[in-house]
Amino acid sequence: MGKVYDSISGEQTRWIEEQPMFFVATAAPESHVNVSPRGLDTFRVLGPNRVAWLDLTGSGVETIAHLRADGRITLMFCAFDRLPEILRLYGRGDVREPGNEGYGELRPRFPDLPGERAIVDVTVSRVASSCGFGVPRMDLVGPRDQLLTSAGRKGPEKMAEYRVLKNTQSIDSLPGLEPARREI
C-alpha cells in the first residue's frame, strides 16, 4: 500500500511527468483551506527534493497568499488511467514573481504561455504514495485552452489590470501578488 520516501525517485519523476494534472493544497492560520487543480505544461521536477510550476493568472490568488503567509504546501498527483496510484509531495513553497530572486533562473525551464504571473518553487520534505484504488478510471480528452486563449486575447496590459483586480488579495484578505510586480 502506501509508502513514505525522503525524496522523489527517477521512476516517480517519470510518472509525475505523465500526469496531465495535479492538485495544490495550502492554508494559512485563520484562513480557508484551498485546493486548486492545475494542468497544461506547467510542472517540473527540478531535483530529488525540489519541484516548481509556472503559475498562470486565474480568478484568485489563494495559493500565493497562503505561501506568503505560511509556506506549507501539499501537491497531489493522481492516476486516472492504467494502474491506480496517488503521490503526494509535502513541503514549503516560495513565490518567485518576475524581478524576484530565483525567477530568472527558473523561467527558462518552462514554455512561454500567456497569462503567466509567477513561478512557485517548492522544497519537498516528504514524498508519500498511496493506492488510489478509490479513484475512478477516466479517459483524457485533452487540455482545455480557455485560460490561455483568454490571456492571449487580453494581452499583457489587460492581464496586468485583471491581476490588480483579482490577484492582489486572497478571499481572506491576505496579500497576494506584489503590487509593483504584477506585469509580465
Give one DSSP letter per residue of 30-54, joined into a string: TS--EEEEE-SS-EEEEETTEEEEE
Read off the pLDDT of residues 35-60 as tens digits, 9 standing for 90 and up. 999 999 999 999 999 999 999 999 99
Question: Residue 67's closest CA among 96, 38, 102, 89?
Answer: 96
Q: How confident is the model at residue 181 (pLDDT cuts 50, 70, 90)?
A: very low
Give the pLDDT of residue 39.
94
Read off the pLDDT of residues 102-125 as tens digits, 9 standing for 90 and up. 999 999 999 999 999 999 999 999
Q: Residue 17 burial (CB < 10 Å; 0-12/13-18/19+)? A: exposed
Domains in the chain and their CATH numbers? 3-134+143-181 (2.30.110.10)
Pairing of strands 3-5, 116-130: antiparallel
CB 128 within 8 A of CB 2: yes
Give the pLDDT of residue 170.
97
d(CA 44, CA 57): 18
Give the pLDDT of residue 145.
92
Read off the pLDDT of residues 1-26 as tens digits, 9 standing for 90 and up. 689 999 999 999 999 999 999 999 99
Give the pLDDT of residue 1.
66
CB 61 within 8 A of CB 167: yes
Read off the pLDDT of residues 134-177 as tens digits, 9 standing for 90 and up. 999 999 999 999 999 999 999 999 999 999 999 999 999 999 99
Give the pLDDT of residue 179.
72
Give the pLDDT of residue 184.
47
Give the pLDDT of residue 180.
53
